[in-house]
Amino acid sequence: MPFQDFDTITLGHGGGGKLTQKLLEKGVFSLLNNDWLNSQGDAANLFLNGEYAFSTDSFVVSPIIFPGGTIGDLAVNGTINDLAVSGAAPIYLSLSFILEEGLPMNQFWEILVSIRDACIRTGVKVVTGDTKVVEKGKGDKIFINTTGIGKIHPKARLSMKNIRSGDKILLSGAPARHGVTIMSKRQGLEFETTLTSDTRPLHEICQQLLDEFGNSVRFMRDPTRGGVATVLHDVVRQTGLGIEIHENSLPLENEVAGACEMLGLDPLFVANEGLFVCIVNHEISENCLRTLHSWENGSQASIIGEIVDEHPGGVLLHSKIGGKRMLPQASGELLPRIC
Amino acid sequence: MPFQDFDTITLGHGGGGKLTQKLLEKGVFSLLNNDWLNSQGDAANLFLNGEYAFSTDSFVVSPIIFPGGTIGDLAVNGTINDLAVSGAAPIYLSLSFILEEGLPMNQFWEILVSIRDACIRTGVKVVTGDTKVVEKGKGDKIFINTTGIGKIHPKARLSMKNIRSGDKILLSGAPARHGVTIMSKRQGLEFETTLTSDTRPLHEICQQLLDEFGNSVRFMRDPTRGGVATVLHDVVRQTGLGIEIHENSLPLENEVAGACEMLGLDPLFVANEGLFVCIVNHEISENCLRTLHSWENGSQASIIGEIVDEHPGGVLLHSKIGGKRMLPQASGELLPRIC
């Protein structure tokens, strides 16, 4: 860690003067080293040509370091995934910190390193940024905004408007890992599990699906806050169609299921950070599932349901024991500050 | 205000479920109404073609509502100005909120309206966004990130690398209004002055200068945190040249000067939100000044100094009474949370 002069972030690191300069040069620029950042302009100059996706997310997860990740790689992967499910290959990110006075420098460094690593893994470049510091008690260690630009796949025709009755709903893996990991850590239960967050980038598999299936892929979304159930409710609300899902087909890991019971959570409502819902023309659904299975993180991918004309605006769950119930919509805050 | 059901922001407004939906539909989408937002995707799809600037800023100003503006129009104008001084005409913004539980809804509404108005005034579109809520005591009412994309003027060749000895340094108006206004309000002195923040968009005048003077405009920057002195120090540090400025030529408003004395501030180190420093080829400096004077906010524009080969890395101030002194660099935090 290159910050020998300070143990913690101080208000001075947000002042725009010498201290800010030092923090940026020793920390951010040296790690995320590229021509755009090194030029230290007010903006990065980009050459763009064609159709692009543009997405923003502020990350306030607590704790800031958790099994499987930090708020830093979560912020990189999270915005990458919003671009990915919009059919875009992510290219550029902006990165903006709101630091609380007193944040230990070694924690900030660990987060910066995780950001650097996530950028290397994905090939995405942080090209512009900002750092602010607020007084102790006016923030919570670190909040991160990432905003991204990605090039839209030429075959992508992703829109809820394209969803039709009969379309199949695929889930790329087992749900609820991220939320359950964070909640376990908060409740001091992390030593009873080996669960880690599923934070990971999804752009490669999303691009592959578009390569192979083009506009037969109707819609994709990553079920973060509010979980899979919230994505399904968004779909029925905006399309006016209905959804049926089958509990039998829902991939669920034993450890996640156990932790959910212990924590009193329904895995369908728990946040994910490396999962996506994909709605496709039923004719290609089995091929699409095969592609997902061939993906290194897709062994548990499953067709979990279909779009129907019945019960418009509603999501019907066929339970394991043969019952049926309408899935409620998440109302208030289930798991505050999960991402 | 359309939020009859709630007096304040609750954690539930950040959960991604029904409450979040209600907050967005009644508040954000209805005010900032456009096709990108209405589609409610994870990202906005843009068609881009050519050279663009990309800039991000998180705003943490306190108080959130102040004479002349709110954190909302400050956030819109602030990112517009980072694009403007980079030679770009701003087009698209993302908008991300971190709200503290308990934020009064009427304050949030006032801020949203100021954002809407700033967008209308500038023609810039908010096309994607995010909302998070943190527990009471873990934030401070509202933090806003805006990230923008703007099209770079075809004649723009702005870079510190182009700055040459002999170039003239122009200031677009009188400094320190924003910082002094915020500090007066914080210290409860606002009733003794009629000062208002200078928050305003700068893209039109910056584009006009590029239209008229092309690459004779070497470099522009808006002196926010750390004020004019910090921009000048950035220039000498990055170019290895020197700067001389003339106190006699510095436009200073009486009321600002008085407030600075009362607050113990040096106006050269105080933040501005509607001002820019412009470094130009000396041959066009008088013409450039005329253009600034013809701008509705430029009546006090002035040539404040020049680039020199002497004292490399230093900024020399010629004082009113004929003395000389090196201008120090701002070190720690002068005015925390000024923007």
Q: What is the pLDDT of residue A334?
A: 67
CB contact under 8 A, B54 and A46: yes
Cα–Cα distance between B48 and B330 in angstroms, integer?
39
Residues of B in contact with A29 (CB under 8 A): none
CATH number at residue B239: 3.90.650.10
CA gap A148, A81 in Å, rounded? 10
What pLDDT score does A18 carry?
84
Q: What is the pLDDT of residue A292?
A: 98
**Is B48 found in the same domain as B188?**
no
Pair A285, A319 in one domain: yes
- Sort residue B164 into left (φ over 0), alpha (ψ -120 to 50) or beta: beta
Is pLDDT above 80 for A192? no
Summarised one tens digit per residue, pLDDT across range B43-57 is: 888 888 889 999 999
- In this prediction, residue B212 carries a pLDDT of 98
Contact B134/A53, CB-based, under 8 Å? no
The CATH number for B37's domain is 3.30.1330.10
Q: Which two tokens stand for residue B316?
A: 């020399």
| Structural domain contains residue B334 | no
Among A152, A187, A206, the domain-final residue is A152
pLDDT score for A14? 84
Least confident of A129-143, A149-163, B176-190, B193-207: B176-190
- Under DSSP, is residue A184 helix (H, G, I), strand (E, B) or coil? helix
Q: Note down the domain range covering B258.
A: 160-326
Q: Which residues of B touch A96 (CB under 8 A)?
A: 56-58, 145, 147
On the question of pLDDT at A13 being above 70, the answer is yes
The strands making up A168-171's β-sheet, listed across from edge to edge, are A217-221, A277-280, A168-171, A302-308, A242-246, A315-318, A324-326
In DSSP terms, which residues pair with B70 in a beta bridge? B65
Please tell me the distance from the alpha carbon of residue A141 to that of residue A137, in angstroms, as a whole number.
Answer: 9
Domain boundary pick from A152, A177, A199: A152
Which residues, including other chains, have CB under 8 Å from residue B33's CB and lie 6 or more apart?
none
Q: Say if residue B175 is in the same domain as residue B300.
A: yes
Q: Is A332 among the domain residues?
A: no
Number of domains in chain B: 2
Beta bridge partners of A144: A59, A97
Mean pLDDT lowest among A91-95, A144-148, B2-6:
B2-6
Which positions ≥6 away from B200 have C-beta within 8 Å?
B77, B273, B274, B297
Flag if B96 and A147 touch (Cβ within 8 Å): yes
Sheet bearing B277-280, strands edge to edge = B217-221, B277-280, B168-171, B302-308, B242-246, B315-318, B324-326
A40 CA: distance to closest CA in chain B (Å): 9
Question: Which residues of chain B does A86 touch, with a Cβ-Cβ cutoff of 8 Å?
Answer: 41-43, 45
pLDDT value of position B191: 67
State whether A122 and A174 are in the same domain: no
Q: Which of B99, B134, B152 is the last residue of a domain?
A: B152
Q: Residue A97's closest chain B neighbor by CA?
A: B58
Judge contact between A18 and A9, C-beta under 8 A: no
What ipTM is given for this predicted complex? 0.95
Q: How far is A293 from chain B (nearest CA, A)?
A: 25
Question: Nearest CB to B332: which of A15, A44, A152?
Answer: A15
End-to-end CA distance of chain B: 26
Residues A273 and A224: beta-carbon distance below 8 Å: yes
**Domain shared by B134 and B79, yes or no:** yes
Cβ B53 vs Cβ B206: under 8 Å: no
Rounded-to-integer distance, Cα A206 and Cα A87, Å: 7
pLDDT-based confidence at A139, cuts 50/70/90?
A: very high
Residues B226 and B140 in one domain: no
A230 vs A225: CA distance, rounded Å: 8
Residues B14-26 have a mean pLDDT of: 84
Closest CA to B304 of B233, B248, B237, B231: B248
Residue B316's DSSP bridge partners are: B244, B326
Distance CA B131, CA B24 (A): 9
